[in-house]
Amino acid sequence: MGGLLTLLCGDFRQILPVIWQGTRANIVDACLKLSSLWRLVQQYRHTTNMRVALQADERAEMFANKLLRLGNGETDTVQLPDYVSLLNFGTRAENIDILLDGIYPQIHSNYENHTWLMQRAILAPHNDSVGQINKLLAEKLPSQTHTYTAINSVVDEEQAVQFPVEFLNSIEMPGLSPHVLDLKCGMPVMLLRSLKPPELMNGTRCIIHNCNRHFVEVVIAAEIYSGQHHSIPRIPLRPSDTMFPFQFKRKKFPLRPCFAMTINKAQGQTLKVIGLDLRQPIFAMVCCMWLCLEQEKKIPSPLYHLKDWLEMWSIQKFYKVSKVHAFIAG
């Protein structure tokens, strides 16, 4: 079958492809520009920045032109506008406990304020760090813990003997709920599948309202549908990309705690207080810098400066963050 018209939209200066356990070379090799089909792609470029055109702001136009030069590799330095200040841009956290208390102060009482809870998050490069932070913060909530275990099975029944259930239970992959999921009322969670567009989409952040045996009741807290109550059932989940020589499915609630989230998953979120756990190096951090600069606002939006990959920073006093703010000095 051929002759189908396919439209691909995107910006190569955005977040790079996500390759499970991939090296820098694997990530670059997965880019569309290195595909054998790229020579067959007919390119069309947008030449008018509609956001700048609608604002009719001379400063925004100057800033947009600087971004284009930076993204095209025409400059190695960034001259920030006068209204973007690097003074008092963040507070260094000496350990993980200070980071948690800086982003979620008095969480045992403030967690009932959904607006306060949805305005903040901790970003980390890998899911294992995210899981550790979520567990530490969940323990601070005074509400009762409800533990749910998944039902795992291979798609091909003939492989059931080769890959026992105990092995399937141990698999942790991006885009899947863990085998053991601990939930508490008042906990922020993120939806991992689109269940009822446009209200319940992949990436929608909600608050656990009630935990039942066969379903979980959540309240949308961070989108235009804020305040709506929905029941989330158990559904079969299949990983979209796996390194295993078999396919398996996991019947589970498509939810993950989201006190913390990966930097990639934070795209499209609106946050005011952000913490960064950068104990591990991030190859894609340069793209995060681009996302930061892309979100030029009329009100100041401080950037934070990463001096050492082994340091953690808690970022406070943010005015408005549409995606992820980051800045890297050489």
Residues 145 and 257 in one domain: yes
In the predicted structure, residue 73 carries a pLDDT above the cut 80 = no
In the predicted structure, residue 315 carries a pLDDT above the cut 60 = no
**Token digits for 238?**
């299949």
Q: Is 187 helix (H, G, I), strand (E, B) or coil?
A: coil
* Top-confidence residue, 266 or 133: 133
In the predicted structure, residue 226 carries a pLDDT above the cut 50 = yes
User: Could you tell me the pLDDT band of residue 257, with boundaries at 50, 70 and 90?
Assistant: very high
Q: Is residue 317 part of a domain?
A: yes
Residues 192 and 136 in one domain: yes
User: Could you tell me the pLDDT band of residue 320, with boundaries at 50, 70 and 90?
Assistant: very low
User: Could you tell me the pLDDT band of residue 242, with boundaries at 50, 70 and 90?
Assistant: low
Residue where one domain finishes, among candidates 219, 247, 262: 262
Residues 100 and 140 in one domain: no
Residues 224 and 297 in one domain: no
Mean pLDDT, rounded, of the chain: 78
| Alpha carbon distance 13, 69 (integer Å) | 12
Residues 182 and 212 in one domain: yes
In the predicted structure, residue 310 carries a pLDDT above the cut 60 = no
Q: Is residue 1 part of a domain?
A: no
User: Could you tell me the pLDDT band of residue 82, with boundaries at 50, 70 and 90?
Assistant: low
**Of 14-23, 255-264, 313-322, where does mean pLDDT reach its minimum?**
313-322
Q: Is residue 54 part of a domain?
A: no
Q: Is residue 70 part of a domain?
A: no
Q: Is residue 34 part of a domain?
A: yes
Residue where one domain finishes, among candidates 215, 233, 262: 262
Which residues is 250 bridged to in the sheet? 152, 237
Residues 89 and 160 in one domain: no
Q: Are 93 and 133 in contact (CB under 8 A)?
A: no
In the predicted structure, residue 1 carries a pLDDT above the cut 80 = no
Mean pLDDT, residues 116-145 taken together: 91
pLDDT digits (tens, 9 = 90+) for 34-59: 888 888 888 888 778 887 888 777 87
Residues 209 and 289 in one domain: no
Residues 286 and 315 in one domain: yes
**CA angle, residues 200, 206, 211, in degrees to nearest 5:** 105
Q: Is residue 68 part of a domain?
A: no
Question: What is the reported pTM?
Answer: 0.71
Q: Is residue 152 part of a domain?
A: yes
Q: Are 154 and 169 in contact (CB under 8 A)?
A: no
Residues 121 and 268 in one domain: yes
The pLDDT value recorded for residue 78 is: 58
CB neighbours (10 Å) of residue 318?
19
The pLDDT value recorded for residue 6 is: 83
Structural domain total, the chain: 2
Residue where one domain finishes, among candidates 262, 296, 314: 262
Residues 132 and 236 in one domain: yes
Q: Is residue 167 part of a domain?
A: yes
**CA angle, residues 32, 33, 36, in degrees to nearest 5:** 85
DSSP letter, residue 158: G
Q: Using a pLDDT cut of 70, give the percent of the chain over it.
A: 78
Beta-strand relationship, 205-211 and 215-220? antiparallel
pLDDT digits (tens, 9 = 90+) for 95-122: 888 888 888 999 999 999 999 999 888 8
Mean pLDDT, residues 237-254 taken together: 86
In the predicted structure, residue 314 carries a pLDDT above the cut 60 = no
CA 170 remoteness from chain centre: 23
| Alpha carbon distance 266, 131 (integer Å) | 15
Q: Are 140 and 106 in contact (CB under 8 A)?
A: no
**Token digits for 268?**
């499209």
Residues 249 and 286 in one domain: no
The pLDDT value recorded for residue 311 is: 38
In the predicted structure, residue 326 carries a pLDDT above the cut 50 = no
In the predicted structure, residue 190 carries a pLDDT above the cut 80 = yes
The pLDDT value recorded for residue 60 is: 77
In the predicted structure, residue 240 carries a pLDDT above the cut 80 = no
Residues 273 and 286 in one domain: yes
**Domain range for 277:** 9-47+80-108+117-125+263-330
* Top-confidence residue, 240 or 5: 5
Q: What's the residue count for the chain?
A: 330
